[in-house]
Structure 1
Amino acid sequence: MAKLTKNLRIVLPILLAGVLLIGCEARQENNAQKNTVSTDKANKVVQNSDPKALAIADSVIEAMGGAQAWEETKVIRWNFFGRRTHTWDKEQGRDRISIPGQNMEITLDLKSKEGTVVKNGEPLTQPDSVQKYLETGYSMWVNDSYWLVMPFKLKDPGVSLGYMGLDTTRVGTPAHKLKLTFGDVGMTPENKYHVYVDTTDHLIKQWAYFSKASDDTARFVLPWKDYNRYGNILLSGNRGSNTLSDIEVLEEWPYKQ
C-alpha cells in the first residue's frame, strides 16, 4: 500500500500474465493454448467496453511503443517515490524489492507468491515472518508497477472501458476521457479511474483515482508527464509532487538467482 501524501493511502489493481514455454513441442502446444486464452480474455474486454474507448486504448498502447514491444520487454527497474526499488523480471514473472528504510530485500515469484526475505543482511527463516513480508512485497509490486505501466494495462482481462467524451486536463490539454472499472479481478476491483488521453500524441496525460466506482469525487488527480524511451517502450515517471525515478529497461535479470 503506497502513501501519496500524509493521509492518502491506496492500493491499485493490476493483473498478472505470463507463460513460460519449454521445448519445441511444448512451445507449440502452449502457444495454441495461450492464443485461445488470450482471445477469450480479449473478447471479454471487448464485450464490456465501449468501442471508441477500445480504439483509443489501442492508440495509447501504440504511442507507447506498441503491444509487441511491451510483450518483448524483459526486465524493468524503477524507484517508487524514493521508498523502494523494484527489479521486475517481466519475462520470468518475478520481482526483487530493495527497501533501504527497512534494510530489507524481498525476492518474489509473482505467480506462486513464494520467495525469500533478507533483513539486515540475514535471510529470514521464520515461516510466519517470511510469509508476511512476501505478502507485503506482492502488494507493493501490484501497486507500484501500476503507477508505472498502467497505459499498457488498459485492455487487461477484467477491465471495462467507457468513453466519457472530450475534456481537458488541469493544465488545459485537450483529451479523450476514459473510465476504467474492473470485474472481479485485482486486489481492489471496486476502484475506478478516469484517464485523460492527449488528442494529439495519444499519451495519457492525467489520471483521477476513485476508491469506489460509485464515487463522484476523486481521491486524487495527478499528471503523467515527462515520457522517455526506455528500450523500445515509453514510460512516464512524473506524477506531480511524486516521482518514479531511476527507470531502466534491462535485457536480463541482473542477479544470480
Structure 2
Amino acid sequence: MKYLTLLLLFPGLVYAQQDSNPPMEGFNADDSHPQAIEIADQVMASMGGRAAWDNARYLSWTIFGEDHVWDKWTGRFRWQGDSTVVLMNIHTMEGRAFKDGNEITPADELLAGAYRDWINAGYWLLMPYKLKDSGVTLGYKGEETMANGHEAHVLTLRFDGVGLTPDNGYDVYVNKELNLVEQWSYYADADADEQPRFTTTWEGYESYGDIMLADTRAVVNSESNVRRVSNLGVYSDLPDSVFEDPNQISLASLTETGTY
C-alpha cells in the first residue's frame, strides 16, 4: 500500500530530514508510512544524528553473557563466550575460532554462530539506528501509553527477505517528547501472531562518544526479568590486537587502549 493521500496532504513529511538521514539501500520507502519515516528521522537526531552514527567506528558490548567488539567500518568482529574466541569479518564471513587460545578447525559452525549473534545481539543494542535499514517497511500504529506511563508513537517494523528471521516483526514505542525508543514488542511471526512474544523497555540512555545507547531491557510486567548491556563503549580507534588476539581479553580494558 502506498500512502499517496498523506503525501498529498503533507508533502514535506517524508523529505523534511531525508538529506540528514538517508535510508539504507533497499529500505521500502514506497510502502512505509510517511509519519513513521519522519519519526524514525527524529529518533536518529535524538540519538546523536546520522553523521555521529556513521562516524562511530568501533563498538563494544556484552549481553546474554557474551562479548562483542565490532569495527563498523571494515566488518571486523570479535566474539567471546566462555573460553571461546571468534575473530572474523562479518562482510566476508572469513575468520578463525579458538578455545583457550588453541585454534579450532574447521571453524565454519562457530563462525556462523558468531555471525548470528552479531545480528541478534547487535539488534538488541542498536535497533533505534536501524529503523530505515535495507528490507524494512515502517508502519504507523498510532499513539499508546507505555509501561512507564509516557506517551508514545508506535511504529511497526516488518522485513522483506532480509536477515536470518525475516518473519519477525516489532512494534517500536517512541517517546513523543524525547523522540527516544523506550519500549518494543517482538513478534516471531508478524503476520500470524496476534500478541507479541514479549515486550521490554529500553532504559538507561547515556552518551558514548557522540551517540546515545540504552543499557537496560526489562520485560514488562516482570520485575525479575531484566537484561543489562555492559562493557558499552564507542571508540574512534582500537589496536589491531583486539581483532587478532586469540586469547580472552577484558572489554573493560578497552577504555585504556582505545580512543574515544
Of 216, 220, 224 in structure 2, the residue corresponding to residue 238 of structure 1 is 216
Q: What's the TM-score once normalised by structure 2's chain length? A: 0.79
Q: What's the TM-score once normalised by structure 1's chain length? A: 0.80
Distance 1:61 1:40, change over 3 A: closer
Q: Which amino acid aligns with 1:244?
A: V
Distance 1:39 1:178, change over 3 A: closer
The answer to whether residue 112 in structure 2 is matched with residue 135 in structure 1 is yes
Map 1:188-199 onto structure 2 (within 5 A).
188-199=165-176
Q: 1:72 is matched with which residue? A: 55
Count matched residues. Answer: 213
SS at structure 2 position matched to 1:46: coil
Deviations 1:184-221 (A, max 9, x none): 11111100100000000000000000001121111100
Map 1:27-66 onto structure 2 (within 5 A).
41=25, 44-66=27-49
SS at structure 1 position matched to 2:182: strand
Q: 1:89 is matched with which residue? A: 71
Q: 1:119 is matched with which residue? A: 99
Map 1:17-28 onto structure 2 (within 5 A).
none
The answer to whether residue 152 in structure 2 is matched with residue 175 in structure 1 is yes
The answer to whether residue 136 in structure 2 is matched with residue 151 in structure 1 is no
The answer to whether residue 204 in structure 2 is matched with residue 220 in structure 1 is no
Deviation at 1:39, TM superposition (A): 7.2
Q: Quick one: distance in 1 between partners of 2:156 and 2:209?
A: 29
Q: Which amino acid aligns with 2:174?
A: V
Distance 1:165 1:140, change over 3 A: same
Q: Quick one: distance in 2 between partners of 1:121 and 1:168?
A: 50
Q: 2:90 is matched with which residue? A: 110
SS at structure 2 position matched to 1:45: coil
Q: Quick one: distance in 1 between partners of 2:84 and 2:158?
A: 34
Deviation at 1:40, TM superposition (A): 8.1
Note the aligned Cα RMSD (angstroms).
Answer: 1.4
Deviations 1:134-157 (A, max 9, x none): 001101111001000100000011
Deviation at 1:112, TM superposition (A): 1.0
Deviation at 1:172, TM superposition (A): 1.3
Q: Quick one: distance in 2 between partners of 1:48 and 1:80?
A: 34
Structure 2 stretches lacking a partner, 5+ long? 1-21, 219-225, 245-260
Q: Quick one: distance in 1 between partners of 2:59 and 2:120?
A: 15
Deviation at 1:254, TM superposition (A): 3.1
Q: Which amino acid aligns with 1:90?
A: K
Distance 1:218 1:49, change over 3 A: same
Q: Which 4+ runs in 1 deviate beyond 6 A?
A: none
Distance 1:40 1:136, change over 3 A: closer
Structure 1 stretches lacking a partner, 5+ long? 1-37
Distance 1:144 1:39, change over 3 A: closer
Distance 1:251 1:137, change over 3 A: same
Distance 1:39 1:75, change over 3 A: closer
Percent of aligned positions with the same letter in both sequences?
Answer: 37
Q: 1:186 is matched with which residue? A: 163
